[in-house]
Structure 1
Amino acid sequence: MNNEQQGKYDFIDALRGFAILVVIVHHAMRAVALHGAMGMEGLMSPWLQTYWADGARGVQLFFVISALTLCLSAAKRSTGQSQWTDFAIRRVFRIAPMFYVAFVFYCLWPLVRGKLGADVPSISNIIATLTFVNGWYPASITSHVLVPAGWSVGVEMSFYAVFPALFIAACTLRRSLVALCISLVLAVVANQVLLSHVVIDSRTDLETFAFFWLPNQLPVFIVGFVLYHLLFGPQSAKKVDWLRQHPAYLQAAKVTVLVVAPLMPFLHIPGIPSHLEYAGFIALVVTLLRFKKPAVLVNRLVCFVGKVSYSAYLVHFAVLAHVTSSLNVRHLNERLSANEYWLVLSILAVAGTIAIATITHRLIEEPGQRLGKRLSDALAAKRAAALARQNAVSKDIAIG
């Protein structure tokens, strides 16, 4: 397959596309069911709320795919100290430009217009948000959020900080499985210490933070390492060939996915948090898509949505608010049931989000990535020039 030979896997973009779609629909559900988007009492069907409550797990799908793609990218690049310098530059310029634009839109612009309200953000919260360390402060990712869903971006950036060490340490399938086990123990211990010894004003905020922060989400990321070594890594060829030669196992996995998928919102295994259950389910889906990519799941439209998914993630809250206001001005909140309102809100929010994200991806994300590449290339050229001068001096000394 040409795409795979070039190191590009279209189903990864498709999974990102599905991730952002379920996140948008989930937040539309929350807007109607929890936040009164209709401006009046409206009760959605309990079964709809149950199903789409787990749409939030689209974030965990992003996390697994992020770790997997980082492993694929790191494996292709040259080794050495400069590899991780370039990695840091690429990641910052991949994430920061669009995030800072979102920060201006959600925080600074309302502040300038005097429409932020009484809860003016503190300087420390602004600095924590802009430096992506907000994922380590409970108030910054729960009650005083400056960029909606900015918690996941902060957690992602924290993961980038530890990725080089993890990539070096978890360099085989066996080591990645060990790392997964260690991360599970770390998550349990870290959360127990956090909830037992940290005191803040709101216990709910602390429990929410305990779910959000990196130690609790790290096992989800490491599932991406396991998938890389199992299906894509330098030692994966024998495993992949074995699975191809024994299609019964893949067929059993397919049947499992088809049976379990509708039950996932109700499948709560005692002692296993929901986000870890979904990480395991995601791993099974990725394994199947590695071998077969049905057009209903992997197609140009969904792949395109996946390509603009980061912009879509940051702008969809604003689109939801605008669509809600437009629906209510037209009194659709009075004429539609809660289920119908949610459906209309979801469709319009998805369409509007993808339209705007296409523009911001082209005008903000892509130029930011090109700027990061130019900086990385400039530093590489500087290192090459310094090495050439060093070799020339060594040669002169040797001749002398």
Structure 2
Amino acid sequence: MTATTAPGAGPVSLAPSPAAPAGPGPRPARTAHPPRLRALDGLRLLAALMVAAYHYGGRTGEIGQAWGTSPREQFPTASSFFAYGCLGVQIFFVISGFVICMSGWGRPLRAFFASRVSRLFPAYWAAIILVTAVFALPWVAYEAVSPSDALVNLTMLQQPLGVDRVLGVCWTLWAELRFYALFALFVVLPGANRRRVVLFCAVWTLGAAVAEAANLPLLDVVLMPEYASYFIGGIGLYLLHRYGHDAVAWGIVAISFLIGQHYAIAGLWHPAHVDAFSYRSSTGIIAVVAFGYVAVALIALGKLHWANWRWLTVAGALTYPFYLVHEHLGWVVVGVLHRKLGLPSYATLLLTVALMLALAWLLYRFVEQRLTPVLKRSLSAVRMP
């Protein structure tokens, strides 16, 4: 596959860029093969490292057990900045909206389904097995889920089924799956075009607002009012990339940002309090969300073509497996390096990230590169009803 999602992503290629028209209106897309979007690969890795910083030093919980004390004591100054790293997820969702729109454009439903399943599941299955096995070791202090729950986790449907999660980050994949289903049903199946995509964004935005007002659990599950705006914003940014500056596309992006920053603050802001682990200011939250939108916008409009270094392709390939394994296995590594071997906090942090990236490379090289093409070919050969 030439496109990727966030966080479950692969190599990113530019969709056809528009050629300048002689008059007003949307610009037609070029058919020439464009260069890779390596800057988007780099942004994805940056978002993953933000999430890792949050998990290792910006929150409490099991990571405090790994350090032996609160991360705030390990990183007295940096922990307040690490606390904003959780917003890397919102950046992931914006990237996902961009890339799923790109990868689904002009692609039949069967090919879209095969590309998504083959891209998400091989590394995910490996991560589930690996974390379950490590947590089952007698010297590891963290409790493993039951064998039955671990098997359900292989479906990626553990959250709606109320099953204990093997991977803490898998809640974001449940949001991604729902986005893929909506996009496949209302855009890919009938055939993507500008009018249909704009209508999809408008209806989903209004539907998410209605779901919030109605307070009906089913609507919340399907329309995801808390996360919909980020995916929609990414779709709007792809329209700008494909067709150029356009008031409707900019309107989609602007409205999605205004709604998205609201939900980010609603979910992550709290009054400064002595008993709270960290304090995120509303201004800081808005700034990080805005950074994600601006960064993807610059990439969409071709302002970061100069960031075309080959190593960014590798960075993009490592992002998804790193995202999957870094949290839970990071607890084990931090405990060994810091409490057992006595490494300083920052040395432990950097070495843990490096080891998780090395593990991500192994998963990419020996799991994804081998299983993804096989699974994709198998699914592509299946007849859709």
**Above 0.5 in TM-score?**
yes
Q: Is residue 2:38 matched to residue 1:10?
A: yes
TM-aligned CA distance change 1:103 to 1:376, over 3 Å: closer
Q: Residues of 1 paired with 2:199 and 2:79: CA distance? A: 39
Q: Deviations over 1:125-176 (max 9, x none)?
A: 4454222222324x54xxx322231212222223222221343588436425
Q: Residues of 1 paired with 2:211 and 2:84: CA distance? A: 21
**Aligned match for 2:341, one of 306, 312, 330:** 330
Corresponding residue for residue 23 of structure 1: 51
Contact 2:45 2:315 in 1 (8 A): yes
Corresponding residue for residue 267 of structure 1: 282
| RMSD over aligned Cα atoms | 3.9
Corresponding residue for residue 363 of structure 2: 360
Task: Give 5+ residue unaligned stretches, structure 2.
Answer: 1-12, 16-31, 251-278
Q: Deviations over 1:208-259 (max 9, x none)?
A: xx99x94422222121211111222xxx14549xx9xxxxxxxxxxxxxxxx
Contact 1:320 1:345 in 2 (8 A): no
Higher helix share: 1
Q: Residues of 1 paired with 2:350 and 2:202: CA distance? A: 43
Structure 1 residue 310: deviation in Å?
0.7
Corresponding residue for residue 203 of structure 1: none
Aligned AA (1:50): S
Structure 1 residue 96: deviation in Å?
1.2
**Aligned match for 1:148, one of 142, 158, 168:** 168
For 1:265-344, list aligned pairs within 5 A.
266-268=281-283, 279-289=289-299, 290-293=301-304, 299-317=309-327, 318-332=329-343, 336=344, 341=345, 343-344=346-347
For 1:84-163, list aligned pairs within 5 A.
84-107=109-132, 110-111=135-136, 120-121=145-146, 123=148, 125-126=149-150, 128-137=152-161, 139-140=162-163, 144-163=164-183
**Aligned match for 2:66, one of 34, 37, 42:** 37
Aligned AA (1:364): V
TM-aligned CA distance change 1:109 to 1:134, over 3 Å: same
TM-score (norm 2): 0.69
TM-aligned CA distance change 1:86 to 1:153, over 3 Å: same
Q: Deviations over 1:147-206 (max 9, x none)?
A: 23121222222322222134358843642551453254045246x445xx9xxxxxxxxx
Corresponding residue for residue 80 of structure 1: none
Structure 1 residue 377: deviation in Å?
4.7
**Aligned match for 2:97, one of 39, 64, 67:** 67
**Aligned pair count?**
318
Contact 1:16 1:62 in 2 (8 A): yes
Structure 1 residue 291: deviation in Å?
2.7
**Aligned match for 1:185, one of 206, 209, 226:** 209
Q: Deviations over 1:369-389 (max 9, x none)?
A: 201332245347x99xxxxxx
Q: Residues of 1 paired with 2:168 and 2:146: CA distance? A: 14
Q: Is residue 2:374 matched to residue 1:371?
A: yes
Q: Residues of 1 paired with 2:310 and 2:360: CA distance? A: 16
Q: Residues of 2 paired with 1:166 and 1:54: CA distance? A: 34
Task: Give 5+ residue unaligned stretches, structure 1.
Answer: 78-82, 198-209, 244-263, 384-400
Report SS of the residue matched to 2:381: helix
Aligned AA (1:72): M
TM-aligned CA distance change 1:291 to 1:178, over 3 Å: same
TM-score (norm 1): 0.66
Aligned AA (1:38): W
Report SS of the residue matched to 1:35: helix
Contact 1:17 1:304 in 2 (8 A): no
TM-aligned CA distance change 1:266 to 1:109, over 3 Å: closer
Contact 1:20 1:313 in 2 (8 A): yes
Contact 2:110 2:380 in 1 (8 A): no
Worse-matched range after superposition: 300-309 or 62-71: 300-309
